[in-house]
Structure 1
């Protein structure tokens, strides 16, 4: 690489604009796929063919852009390899979207008459064919929408990265440079910027309560306040609690927060153990245990307790008025009750059977239990949605609750279904996680996870009869979400690391941590099935 090269000498504004247009076009086609009427028949054929041709055209346009960028001076910019690799993978993803629509066309039953002419029950046969095809068609269009959304995201973020890397920075600006913070201060300011934060007194000490449960220390709060990044009304007695807001200067500091990026990725020896499970160019086993990493799929990430700021209990107390029925020191046990007493949430890490979490509802009775290694984000997805399910709509605009059916969520996440003697089993794309729905007069859900039947990788979740589908759907929606979760490397179960996509926020110009992770996911999706170890 030429050390004297400066990114200001490269003008790629036209290509950046084209990539942004591609991102918009991919997103527009995604919207059409989401809203597409999948009723089988001739109408679907006529409406789906233009979508199929457009998906092919977008893949071809993206391939042309990758070719052009690969022959441009942009290749000299540090970090351009990761950008080009992400776009290269997106070509395959766009082709998968076109293939999904093509498979829908192939599965769509058409009008016509069998050999020998119309039969007595021709209409009944046609209705049966249409009923059987309907869920298959819906699944294909959901997969197409998922692949198109990923293409749109990659094009958008790569365009942003290229523009950032190749735009000269003015020598003088009207405003002074925003204050620089350390990592803990940035995390605290981000949590406070979400709104709903309060400065309170608990046990005669100042306490900062945030909407998402992120822990903000008094030291971080005072340092941010001293820098003029926060506002709270000092005239309000502290015992009554003060609302905390982030000032304009605070939002500017967040807008200029340094972006985590990655060094060039070296190609691993495919014959070496753990090849492919690399993070920012370094094998997992060469990272320090305390390194923060992004992990997907989520079911492989481990519990995350002590490794993430996600709080499954705090928001219920601080924002929804749930009361503590029982609490032991040092976090050994906590039992919370809803304001009306309908629901109890019990966290007990001392249980010998390993079932650390229990959610119980009375009248009608139902119960959900989760073992030790269940990802805490999946549990928090339920606990933070419980107030809405009980009619408390405060913060409903910030706490999403899915209204989709379990089958819809599972299919959209690429999970496969199999009918069994006892009911239905859904299996994750990598084969490590299953969701079994037992039929009969008392249907129940049982989730099971394990990698190579290895110690410390397994977890389970059980939902008894009468558990509302919204509860199980909320849990499934978290598991199928392809966005990574944050962990310290040492918190990811050792035997699960070879099966997970793991990336580490390090430094390489212009490309954010989540887009690098998305590129790694694209590579996994484009690989032939069977390249990752399968579950026994």
Structure 2
């Protein structure tokens, strides 16, 4: 009796070689769609021009996410418009910033803020990063010394968040956030930066570095597709739930249905 083939696998589908890479901060950029498809599923508008850089805008038009690989140095730019509670802010991440770490910040843009006060350093300390003061700067470095997070206080009075990763050969990336970038977004970023979980890269897309560890895995295209679809489905479900909650929220002002004399008011 022949073993029944799972219907998600096409006839003759061949497994492809991929690699799990650790630490994730040195895994290279990855597939930009990891970020963009989640935002699209969360109701963001894709305003990219055909053949041009990625450009997406939040449903309320207050935040824009762009990725431009066609200019130097290129990479990610995330810009938040000033509102009543906070000023204008921006984040800039180089092209080799892993998309899984970038998504820590961009995914958080689609979710409500937590009621708890954010703490950028807590996720790093939980993973045994070394935190300390260096002059006017507060710094955290990963246990292997390849990644860092720093709050810089410059002599001219300016400040910024500065982060990145670099191996001994000088390969890596940097990123910086303006000081008024919402703290919950910086914490979401630091959580993914510090995560010990490896990330997956296809053969030929693994950086040449003596400081990364890799494990070869065989993955069917349908499996990759299913994993990607699960992330998109989760984004759609969360967006639907938020929209439904807003639409069913009771009105804050009572609506008069009848006048004091018993006659209905005109609507």
Q: Give the CA deviation at 1:453.
A: 4.1
Aligned to 1:358: 77
Q: C-alpha separation between the residues in 2 aligned to 1:353 and 1:482?
A: 28
Q: C-alpha separation between the residues in 2 aligned to 1:324 and 1:418?
A: 41
Q: C-alpha separation between the residues in 1 aligned to 2:78 and 2:6?
A: 42
Aligned to 1:367: 90
3-state SS of paired residue (2:193): helix
**1:406 equivalenced with 2:232 (yes/no):** no
Aligned to 1:295: 21
What is the CA RMSD across the aligned residues, in angstroms? Answer: 2.9
Aligned to 1:418: 132
Structure with the larger strand share: 2
1:262-281 alignment runs, 5 A limit: none
Q: C-alpha separation between the residues in 2 aligned to 1:328 and 1:490?
A: 27
3-state SS of paired residue (2:121): helix
TM-score, normalisation: structure 1: 0.36
Q: Give the CA deviation at 1:177.
A: 5.7
Whether the aligned pair in 1 keeps the contact of 2:168 and 2:211 (CA below 8 Å) is no
Whether the aligned pair in 2 keeps the contact of 1:324 and 1:335 (CA below 8 Å) is yes
3-state SS of paired residue (1:477): helix
1:143-222 alignment runs, 5 A limit: 178-180=4-6, 185=8
Whether the aligned pair in 1 keeps the contact of 2:24 and 2:198 (CA below 8 Å) is yes
Cα distance, 1:423–1:324 mapped onto 2, change above 3 Å: same
Whether the aligned pair in 2 keeps the contact of 1:313 and 1:383 (CA below 8 Å) is no
Aligned to 2:186: 472
3-state SS of paired residue (2:204): helix
Q: C-alpha separation between the residues in 2 aligned to 1:358 and 1:429?
A: 28
**1:312 equivalenced with 2:35 (yes/no):** yes
Q: Give the CA deviation at 1:180.
A: 3.2
Cα distance, 1:407–1:296 mapped onto 2, change above 3 Å: same
Aligned to 2:212: 500
TM-score, normalisation: structure 2: 0.69
Q: C-alpha separation between the residues in 2 aligned to 1:361 and 1:349?
A: 21
3-state SS of paired residue (1:315): helix
Structure with the larger helix share: 1
Runs of 5+ in structure 1 lacking a partner?
1-171, 187-219, 224-259, 261-289, 392-401, 507-536
Structure 1 runs (4+) greater than 4 angstroms displaced: none
Whether the aligned pair in 1 keeps the contact of 2:28 and 2:98 (CA below 8 Å) is yes
Aligned to 1:447: 163
3-state SS of paired residue (1:505): strand
3-state SS of paired residue (1:341): coil
- Tell me how many residue pairs correspond in the alignment: 209
User: Whose relative contact order is higher, 1 or 2, with alpha carbons under 8 Å and at least 6 apart?
Assistant: 2
Aligned to 2:195: 481
Deviation digits for residues 72-122 of structure 1 (CA, Å, limit 9, x no counterpart):
xxxxxxxxxxxxxxxxxxxxxxxxxxxxxxxxxxxxxxxxxxxxxxxxxxx
Q: C-alpha separation between the residues in 2 aligned to 1:462 and 1:430?
A: 21
Whether the aligned pair in 1 keeps the contact of 2:121 and 2:190 (CA below 8 Å) is no
3-state SS of paired residue (1:478): helix
Whether the aligned pair in 1 keeps the contact of 2:17 and 2:217 (CA below 8 Å) is no
Q: C-alpha separation between the residues in 2 aligned to 1:347 and 1:442?
A: 26
Whether the aligned pair in 2 keeps the contact of 1:414 and 1:428 (CA below 8 Å) is yes
3-state SS of paired residue (1:388): coil
Aligned to 1:385: 108
